Each structure stands twice: as structure tokens, then as C-alpha cells.
Amino acid sequence: MGCDIHLVVEQYHTEEQQWHRVFPPERCRDLWLVSQAALPPDQHTGGMNARFRSHAVVEWYPSRNYNLFAILADVRQPDQRIVRHGGESPAFNVIQYPRGLPTDLSQEVIDLAEHDASECEEGRGHEPPFGDDCPFYNDVSFCTDEDESVDWHSSSYLTVKELLEFDWDQHRRGIAESYREEIGTGSHWFKVLQCLSELAGDFPEYVRIVFGFDN
């Protein structure tokens, strides 16, 4: 079963002393989503044009990249394990093991979660386990009309400071490619990281990604 990330960005406003959700500027949007949204309606079925337009405007990072997931939150690590100091260690070093959702979420994200929860309660989908494990579905919905349940897990958050201080050019033991190369040098992730750095400016601790995963 595949695993996907659901991610939002928040910025701290010092004058209000609270976080606010931030959407990706046009230059930082995922090019594939933008291209799909631009296709004629007859090339999509089931209203997918509107869905792609929604995704393109609100999603910072919609891609499935297991090497990145392993680095962000120890999710979908390669089967390889490296013996270090007498024990096992993940193949990729992890920026921060999942620590749940921040206690000071922006009101916009709280409202999004509550809206999607109410839709689930009305029978339009499955309700994810809110609390420490509640990934965000980026304005598409937490819910799904499919019959099978969804496995939500590994919610966490990372500041831009933490992301920028991480060594993306280190190597796994015995692997020639760097982390950056294993993720993909041309990956949308590094475009996102650059945009987040520009957004944060001199205060990288005041911008963060909040995310979780589903299987």
C-alpha cells in the first residue's frame, strides 16, 4: 500500500503572537498539478479539473517521495539498516522523529480540521483520528468516499530553521549519491525549501511545515 504526505505551512506573526496558514505563491506551485488543472475539462472525469485547481493553489508538496519521508519523519525508511554503536539505525538520518501536532496550531488549520471532521460525522467519509495523529488534506478533505479505512500516522512539524540546518548533502553509508541526489536534485521539494527560506527571511524559526501521512 502506498503512503502519501499531507502538509501545510504556517508562519508566526509576532504582533499577534499566533500562527497563520500560508499558501504557496504561484512560483512555488507544483508544475504537474498546475499543468493538470490547465487541461480541457473533457480530458478529466468526475470533476477532476476543479480538484486539480484546488490542489494546485493550496498544496506545497503533493509528491510521493519515500526517501524524503524517511528524512522528515522516519516514515518508509529503506529496508536497509545500518549497525551503529551496537544497534540498528535507519538508513537515512532523520531530522526529527514524529512529535505530534503543535499545540498552537493556526486558527485556519484548526477550522479546516473541524470542517472536515463535521463532514465525516455526517457520513460523507471516514473520520481520521484527530489529536496527535491528524495529517492535513490541504483543503480537499480529510474524508474519503471509499469504503476502506485510512491509516493516518506520524504527524509532526518542522521549522524552516530545522530544515535549513539539516545536511542534505550527506551520504548514507556505502551509497555514492547524497541525500539530495537520492531525493532528486530536480525534485519539487528543493524548490519548496527555497521558497520557504525566502518566506522566512531572517526568522526561519517563525515558519514551519505541519504534516502527517496516510497509507
Report pLDDT for 90: 63
DSSP letter assigned to residue 5: E
For the chain, the domains span 4-24+59-214
- For residue 183, the model assigns a pLDDT of 96
pLDDT on residue 132: 36
For residues 190 and 180, is the Cβ–Cβ distance under 8 A? yes
Distance CA 159, CA 11 (A): 10
Give me the residues paired with residue 207 across strands: 11
Q: Look up cell 488543472; give the residue.
A: 37
pLDDT for 106-148, tens place per residue? 988 887 766 554 444 443 333 333 333 344 444 333 333 333 4
Asked whether the beta carbons of 213 and 134 are under 8 A apart, the reply is no
Alpha-carbon gap, residue 189 to 184, rounded angstroms? 9
C-alpha cell belonging to residue 47: 470533476
pLDDT of 120: 42
Q: What is the pLDDT of residue 21?
A: 93
Burial class (CB in 10 A: 0-12, 13-18, 19+), 51: middle
- Low-confidence stretches of the chain (pLDDT < 70) are 1, 31-57, 79-90, 113-151
Average pLDDT over the chain reads 76
